[in-house]
Amino acid sequence: MPRTPADRLLIETVTANPAWSVVLLLLDLSRSAAALALPALLAAAVDAQTTGGDLGTVGLLAGLVAVLILLDIASLLVSPWHVNTLVLGLRRDLLGHVLRLGVRDRAAFSTGDLTTRLLTNTGEVASVVPLAAGWIGSLLMSGGALVALALIDWRLCVAFAVGAPVVTLIIRFFVGRASPLMTDYMTVQGSIAGRLTEVLTGLRSVRAAGAERREIDRVLTGLPELHRAGRASWALQGRLNLHASLVLPLIQVAVVATAGYTLLAGELTPGQFAAATAYAGMAFGLFNQANAFMALAQARAGARRLAEVLTVGATARGARELPAGPGELTFRGVSVPGGYADLTVPGGAMAAVVGESGAGKSTLLQLAGRLLDPDEGEVLLDGVPLRDLSPPALADAVSWAFERPAYLPGTVADAIGFGSPGGVREAARLARADTFVRRLPAGYDTPCADAPLSGGERQRLGLARALARPARLLILDDAVSSVDSVTELHISHALAAHPATRLVATHRASLAARADLVVWLDGTGVRAVAPHADLLEQADYRGLFGAEREPIHV
């Protein structure tokens, strides 16, 4: 059978921490052995007690019960410990892997979907270990019970074995069906979660349109499908139960009838008769594992969902360090939306990247700092191809600010210090964030999640974060678009005086005018690389800023 990535993941999980998996298995096996001994000892005690009384056998029975209880406790402590360790490992792997995906690969999954995979599916996968151990234990117990039946009288064992193949066929039929049902259910669930996230992101617009109820209906369009998938799995369980519950008593009664016959013939004691009943019941366990198989099917479905993410290739890492240099940025035949880019930004220069919405400014910037790898061509920083650089070397060299900062963890100070913990306040002053931060309830110690930040204020935190890192290349992707005009004026002064090589995507003529050169994108690649003043002669270029429509002097 060819192994799917999901099955490989399950096998890796079982063997990830082998010592504990073995301990868990041993515990389950010991419990099965003790449970197997119980009816035999019980039979001996019943026989002893019905023929005059023998407290020694009863004492042994009590001892066995104590051992069973202790094994139960040990299993209850070890099993969650082991499972939680595995879950922790799986969650770390998944999180670490997602965080190392390229921005495009990451965008294939919604945040809500990834979170569900991290929280729910990891647990389903890790539970495969106790499921497997419990399964082996119960096999031992059922098999042992069968042997015990044979030891009491071989005819009992034969009576039991007759019904076995029928039940096996039913179980196989069931497992084949349950797994796709589970996957259906999870897929519909994921799509509902995805639409809900969309709506919550645009909640203000939804409110303004008075469209709450409509949106609720839209999010819930998949609900009937979810309902059907759920009901189908219940119906399946019911069918399985009917088959199983009809077949199993038939076998049990066959065994007990045989035992009754031998009891009648005087070949069995009453105690052994009772033990035969108990062993027949234990041997049933072999076929009465609908829940275990259901859980196993769920573990496979969960593994499939984890593997879907884990098999997406993470960004390849280089190993080279970056030699000292001014921060010269070179694009050599790099494919960009609609064309190619060949350009050099000298070390320490400020380059404005301009173009209409959708002309590829963000892509160019992401290529410049290797948030994306180009399909063709090479991007170099101080002569070293970016893809050859080690991740720490690249991270030290480049700092970023975005239109919408997406990760502001902890306090305001934590968020600004995310790139580099030193110089938080100085960076905040440069980004004109210091004043409003100090007005927050706990100043720099205010948790970002509690701070009522406007879009412009968030941008300034993001800019401060970028400025806090002493990098040789500073990439600003429309990073002051929501800032008011007065503040923006101050920030552009600070940017113009910054020592790093700066790549600044902007819609504003004032910023372009302050740049040493302008990279002009028009959707077919780079249209021109030249100073702002030179480009102003072209009407298309002036049109980008709408400058000719603004009254100049009043």
Site for other proteins in 368-397 (CB under 8 A): 369, 371, 391-392, 394-396
Question: If we measure between CA atoms, which residue out of 399, 391, 337 comes closest to residue 363?
Answer: 337
Cβ proximity to other proteins: between 11 and 223 the closer is 223
Cβ proximity to other proteins: between 21 and 272 the closer is 272
State the Cα angle at 41 between 37 and 42, rounded to 5°.
115
Given candidates 316, 442, 449, 497, which one binds other proteins under the rule CB under 8 A? 449
Question: If we measure between CA atoms, which residue out of 435, 38, 73 comes closest to residue 274?
Answer: 38
Cα(290)–Cα(244) distance, integer angstroms: 9
Q: Closest approach of Cβ 550 to other proteins, in Å? A: 5
> Under rule CB under 8 A, which residues in 492-521 are in contact with other proteins?
507-510, 513
Q: Closest approach of Cβ 552 to other proteins, in Å? A: 5
Phi, psi of 473 (to 5 degrees): -125, 125
Quick one: which H or E segment has residue 398? strand 398-401
The strand pairing partners of 518, in sequence order, are 352, 530
Question: If we measure between CA atoms, which residue out of 144, 152, 11, 128 comes closest to residue 79?
Answer: 128
Cβ proximity to other proteins: between 4 and 197 the closer is 197
Cβ proximity to other proteins: between 375 and 550 the closer is 550
Q: Closest approach of Cβ 23 to other proteins, in Å? A: 15
Cβ proximity to other proteins: between 15 and 201 the closer is 201
Cβ proximity to other proteins: between 151 and 235 the closer is 235
321 near other proteins, rule: CB under 8 A? no
SS3 label, residue 520: strand
Query: Which ranges of 107-163 would DSSP assign to H, the alpha helix?
Result: 111-116, 122-126, 128-152, 154-161
Contacts of 390 (CB under 8 A, 6+ apart): 317, 318, 319, 320, 321
Cα(439)–Cα(36) distance, integer angstroms: 71
287 near other proteins, rule: CB under 8 A? no
Binding span for other proteins by CB under 8 A among 17-25, 327-335, 375-383, 476-484: 476-484
332 near other proteins, rule: CB under 8 A? no
Given candidates 124, 153, 184, 488, which one binds other proteins under the rule CB under 8 A? 488
84 near other proteins, rule: CB under 8 A? yes
Q: Closest approach of Cβ 3 to other proteins, in Å? A: 28
Encode burial over 518-538: b for 16+ CB neighbours within 10 A, e otherwise.
bbbbbeebbbbbeebeebbee
Cβ proximity to other proteins: between 92 and 172 the closer is 92
Phi, psi of 372 (to 5 degrees): -135, 145
Q: Closest approach of Cβ 357 to other proteins, in Å? A: 3
Query: Which ranges of 265-378 would DSSP assign to H, the alpha helix?
Result: 270-284, 290-310, 361-368
Binding mask 252-281 for other proteins (x = CB under 8 A): xx--xx--xx-xx-----x--xx--xx--x
Given candidates 11, 162, 220, 316, which one binds other proteins under the rule CB under 8 A? 220
77 near other proteins, rule: CB under 8 A? yes
Quick one: which H or E segment has residue 30? helix 18-50
> Under rule CB under 8 A, which residues in 87-116 are in contact with other proteins?
87-88, 91-92, 95-96, 98-101, 103, 106-107, 110-116
SS3 label, residue 86: helix
Q: Closest approach of Cβ 307 to other proteins, in Å? A: 18
Given candidates 151, 450, 493, 524, which one binds other proteins under the rule CB under 8 A? 450
Please count the CA atoms within 13 angstroms of the CA of 282 that sit on its side-chain side.
29
Question: If we measure between CA atoms, which residue out of 546, 369, 402, 364 comes closest to residue 478?
Answer: 402
SS3 label, residue 254: helix
242: left (phi over 0), alpha (psi -120 to 50) or beta: alpha
438 near other proteins, rule: CB under 8 A? no
Q: Closest approach of Cβ 21 to other proteins, in Å? A: 17
Please count the CA atoms within 13 angstroms of the CA of 390 that sit on its side-chain side.
8
151: left (phi over 0), alpha (psi -120 to 50) or beta: alpha
Given candidates 22, 69, 169, 316, which one binds other proteins under the rule CB under 8 A? 69
Binding mask 22-61 for other proteins (x = CB under 8 A): --------------------x--xx--xx-xx----x--x
Cα(227)–Cα(222) distance, integer angstroms: 9
205 near other proteins, rule: CB under 8 A? yes
Binding span for other proteins by CB under 8 A among 85-93, 150-158, 172-180, 343-351: 85-93
User: How many binding residues for other proteins (CB under 8 A)?
Assistant: 173
Cβ proximity to other proteins: between 12 and 54 the closer is 54
Q: Closest approach of Cβ 430 to other proteins, in Å? A: 18
532 near other proteins, rule: CB under 8 A? yes
Binding mask 124-163 for other proteins (x = CB under 8 A): ----------------------------------------
Give the helix, strand, coil percentages of the chain, each rounded to 5.
65, 10, 25
Cβ proximity to other proteins: between 80 and 326 the closer is 80
Binding span for other proteins by CB under 8 A among 135-143, 156-164, 189-197, 374-382: 189-197
Q: Closest approach of Cβ 1 to other proteins, in Å? A: 30
Cα(471)–Cα(348) distance, integer angstroms: 11
Given candidates 56, 80, 176, 422, which one binds other proteins under the rule CB under 8 A? 80
Binding span for other proteins by CB under 8 A among 126-134, 169-177, 326-334, 451-459: 451-459
